[in-house]
Structure 1
Amino acid sequence: MPATIAPLELAAWTATTALGHGRGAQLAALREGRSGLAQTPIADAVLGDCGLQTWVGAVAGLDTPLDGAWAEWDCRNNRLAALALAQDGFAAAVAGARARLGAARIGVFIGTSTSGVLSTELAYRARDRDANRLPDSFRHRTTHNPQAAAEFVRLQLGLDSVALAICTACSSSAKVFAAASRAIAAGVCDAAVVGGVDSLCLTTLYGFNALQLVSSEICRPADAQRRGISIGEGAGFALLMPARAPGALALLGYGESSDAYHMSTPDPQGRGAALAMRDALARAGLPAAAVDYVNLHGTATPANDASEDQGVCAVFGARDEGGPPCSSTKGYTGHTLGAAGIVEAVYACLAVEHGFVPPSLNTRTLDPALRAHYALEAQSRPLRIAASNSFGFGGNNACLIFGRAA
């Protein structure tokens, strides 16, 4: 069993998705049961003719290029990161911490899966076909390169410490919390900016479609007739530091596992997922009964939802065993891939802060084979502790536990 960890306060936190910019926009949509997903014509304006009949969650306000000193970093992914950093006073909070601790003592840990791959897609469309040469304006290092996401955030915030990109598919920006916790405990840094950013591109749309995972309908997590995912984009960030006062919203525990069952299919018994959840509880020093809400990975694919259901029931209990309410928020934003961990960590924290359980959106008829306590309607109730699950290809599983520091 892993040892307990010291709680890390979320001194600032924010998210930007298809629901809008900042925490307030996310909270309003969750309370209203309003989705940010739209059919692919909206993606055509961003990506060109994507040719797929599906739904996507596109973020508004990304049309203006980065210019001046930031021009070499210009791509949709970095525009999205810059937009998200400007919300909820986040950059100002980091500036305050930088003034107290020093720029070299705040680490940066960013999750992404495709980073700025759209810039490469656009470069190949514009290539010199006769010379088989990409445009001179294409800059892989500052756009497509996954490390670019972490380096861009570090530079935007004026920090001078470790900057690490984590790419474990859809668990990427959940695992950054674990990496930051270890770095702070080891004395590598005194505080950390964690987060993730992933933007729309044809590579993910066509790639997931080739795996027969993209639904032509809006995604319907846990539904008896669910047909797959809707892809979205998003970004979010949190400033973590050792908890300074009781009652602060904090990361209490994290759990990670690598079940390696299959490259693109989860263990049908959910064993790796359950291990991550148990390890998160152990690091938080909490029993399963202490968790009041579980934000599911809940992709709306038949295999993922069934596997996660097995893991959740094994750890927290089924609905007829008193298991906590759980829901997927993918119906609001779509699957934001490398940004899913941070976006849904923000949603778990909003649930604790405001005392409500957001319902799984678009679920019409609950799959009778699923046994967990799925919330199909919003619930208002005091929440002390929330868990957030994120699972990636290859069995890269993560679970985060949030609540109030003791």
Structure 2
Amino acid sequence: MKPLLLTHFTATSCLGRGLDATLDALRGQRGGLAPCDFPRADLDTWIGAVDGVDAEPMRADLAAFDCRNHRLAQIGLAQDGFAERVEAAKARYGAKRIGVFVGTSTSGILETEHAYQHRDPQTGALPGDFRYAQTHNIYSPAAFVRAYFGLGGPAMAISSACSSGAKVFASARRMLAAGLIDAAVVGGVDSLCLTALYGFNSLELLSRQPCRPYDVARDGISIGEAAAFALLERAPEADGALDDNAILLLGIGESSDAHHMSSPHPDGLGARAAMAQALASSGLAASDIDYINLHGTGTPSNDAAEARAIHALFDGTASAPPSSSTKGATGHTLGAAGALEAVITMLALRHQLLPAGINTTQPDLALGVNYLTTSRDARVRTALSNAFGFGGTNCSLVFGRADQLDTLGLSS
């Protein structure tokens, strides 16, 4: 595929608001997980909550969208000058030529939870001010972002479980290739809710401590929340038109192994297919990848399946590039995870950093992955970011630095 330019990007999670806070935490190997204190969630687990979401005032003209999920999205869109860059693109291309692609798993389901908690005791009727279409509806995060910027181009929400925030890049790329749009706001947003917390608890997937991806004693996930966004455009044709820090989307791979509703294929066949497709579409070989941001949830079966796929694709431990799962720092942000971890991967490329997987103290050597337990500076030309979801829906993304394409035999 022809490389696409990540003009700008931003991330907000329990690590903090914006890129500086995120990068500082990654460099300092600090996580944002804390014992669960989410209202009405009586669970012995850890969560990654973003400070101040409930106190965030919704912009007056967007009051109909008011819910925790959209307040989190609004916080995310306001960071790092991202909104200003989208406005500049809007002036350049026109509002109808910018698409919106947002990944989420549960959207604003917390608003529906609140509505059921306050239904009429006699009739069971939900409160009159409950606005399902603008809050809980899966499309509502895309509608909110579209309204936030006053855009008029195509808009869609992707809800494919934990691959949602990565698959938005693929959907946007197809519309750019078809000439339907000139730029795209892509991203993911998912917020804490009782449905996710108790749902994963019922599956016996929650850890009682901060999650430890790829650790020999890994025993489950920690749920987090995040809002992460990027502005995606066609790369300029002229030589030298990109600055040295420009990050490009080089390849995309998608697959569906449909092995089980909640477990991956034990040999990671779908994960391997997604990674192989991403490499093939980028024109790179496995040996060209300098870092992998693993899906790495911290459950025994998920980490093992991903590891088998990597081991097969990269021809063994000795050939596997340095890898880590940043979910030990952020928690698993579900539908936002693919977008958040794509942004973290872009930060690794921009700042030449290999981020450690924190909380993992004894990497499981049987998994055969070159797992990072200490963050360090390094030459990072390309990176692979994985996002795999329930039902075997998988997406892998390859990113690269524009100033390193020549060394890889590629051109922008």
TM-score by length of 1: 0.96
Determine the C-alpha separation between the residues in 2 that align with 1:67 and 1:260: 41
Q: Which residue of 2 aligns with 1:19?
A: 15
**CA shift digits 1:144-196 (9 cap, x unpaired):** 00100000001101110101000000000100000100100001111111001
Q: Does the 8 Å CA contact 1:65/1:71 hold for their aligned counterparts? A: no
Q: Does the 8 Å CA contact 2:322/2:372 hold for their aligned counterparts? A: yes
**In the alignment, is residue 341 of structure 1 matched against residue 338 of structure 2?**
yes
Count residues with an aligned counterpart: 396
Give the fraction of aligned pairs with identical amino acids, expressed as a percent: 56
Return the letter of the residue paired with 1:35. G
**CA shift digits 1:241-274 (9 cap, x unpaired):** 0112345211111000000010100011011100
Say which of 397, 400, 411 aligns to 1:400.
397
Q: Which residue of 2 aligns with 1:324?
A: 321
Return the letter of the residue paired with 2:121. R
Q: Which residue of 2 aligns with 1:53?
A: 44
Q: How does 1:226-305 map to 2 (within 5 A)?
A: 226-244=218-236, 245-246=241-242, 247=244, 248-305=246-303
Q: Give 5+ residue unaligned stretches, structure 2.
A: 403-410
Determine the C-alpha separation between the residues in 2 that align with 1:16 and 1:301: 24
Determine the C-alpha separation between the residues in 1 that align with 2:61 and 2:386: 38
Determine the C-alpha separation between the residues in 2 that align with 1:318 and 1:90: 40
Determine the C-alpha separation between the residues in 2 that align with 1:366 and 1:382: 23
Return the letter of the residue paired with 2:174. R
**CA shift digits 1:97-122 (9 cap, x unpaired):** 10010000010000000000000001
Give every structure 1 segment of 4 or more consecutive aligned residues whose post-TM-superposition deviation is greater than 4 Å: none
Q: How does 1:22-33 map to 2 (within 5 A)?
A: 22-33=18-29
Return the letter of the residue paired with 1:55. W
Return the letter of the residue paired with 1:59. V
Q: Does the 8 Å CA contact 1:231/1:336 hold for their aligned counterparts? A: yes
Return the letter of the residue paired with 1:251. L
**In the alignment, is residue 107 of structure 1 matched against residue 99 of structure 2?**
yes
Return the letter of the residue paired with 1:128. D
**In the alignment, is residue 359 of structure 1 matched against residue 350 of structure 2?**
no
Return the letter of the residue paired with 1:227. D
Taking only aligned residues, the RMSD between alpha carbons, in angstroms, comes to 1.0
Return the letter of the residue paired with 1:104. K
Q: Which residue of 1 aligns with 2:4?
A: 8
Q: Which residue of 2 aligns with 1:173?
A: 165
- TM-superposed CA distance for 1:68, in Å, is 2.3
Q: Does the 8 Å CA contact 2:62/2:148 hold for their aligned counterparts? A: no
Q: Does the 8 Å CA contact 1:110/1:150 hold for their aligned counterparts? A: yes
**In the alignment, is residue 35 of structure 1 matched against residue 35 of structure 2?**
no
Determine the C-alpha separation between the residues in 2 that align with 1:140 and 1:375: 43
Q: How does 1:87-106 map to 2 (within 5 A)?
A: 87-106=79-98
**In the alignment, is residue 126 of structure 1 matched against residue 118 of structure 2?**
yes
Determine the C-alpha separation between the residues in 2 that align with 1:173 and 1:375: 24
Paired residue secondary structure (1:195): strand
Q: How does 1:57-76 map to 2 (within 5 A)?
A: 57-62=48-53, 63-76=55-68
Q: Does the 8 Å CA contact 1:249/1:403 hold for their aligned counterparts? A: yes
- TM-superposed CA distance for 1:369, in Å, is 1.6
Determine the C-alpha separation between the residues in 1 that align with 2:109 and 2:57: 16
Q: Give 5+ residue unaligned stretches, structure 1.
A: none
Paired residue secondary structure (1:141): helix
Paired residue secondary structure (1:267): coil
**In the alignment, is residue 139 of structure 1 matched against residue 131 of structure 2?**
yes
Paired residue secondary structure (2:139): helix
Determine the C-alpha separation between the residues in 2 that align with 1:377 and 1:402: 22
Q: Which residue of 1 aligns with 2:207?
A: 215
Paired residue secondary structure (2:366): coil
- TM-superposed CA distance for 1:322, in Å, is 2.4
- TM-superposed CA distance for 1:315, in Å, is 1.3
Return the letter of the residue paired with 2:10. T
Return the letter of the residue paired with 1:154. R
Q: Does the 8 Å CA contact 2:350/2:401 hold for their aligned counterparts? A: no
Determine the C-alpha separation between the residues in 1 that align with 2:328 and 2:365: 19
Q: Which residue of 2 aligns with 1:156?
A: 148
**CA shift digits 1:61-87 (9 cap, x unpaired):** 212342522211100000001110000
**In the alignment, is residue 384 of structure 1 matched against residue 381 of structure 2?**
yes
Q: Which residue of 1 aligns with 2:408?
A: none
Determine the C-alpha separation between the residues in 2 that align with 1:64 and 1:173: 23
Say which of 78, 92, 96 aligns to 1:86.
78
Paired residue secondary structure (2:44): coil
**CA shift digits 1:8-30 (9 cap, x unpaired):** 10111000000110011110000
Determine the C-alpha separation between the residues in 2 that align with 1:235 and 1:64: 14
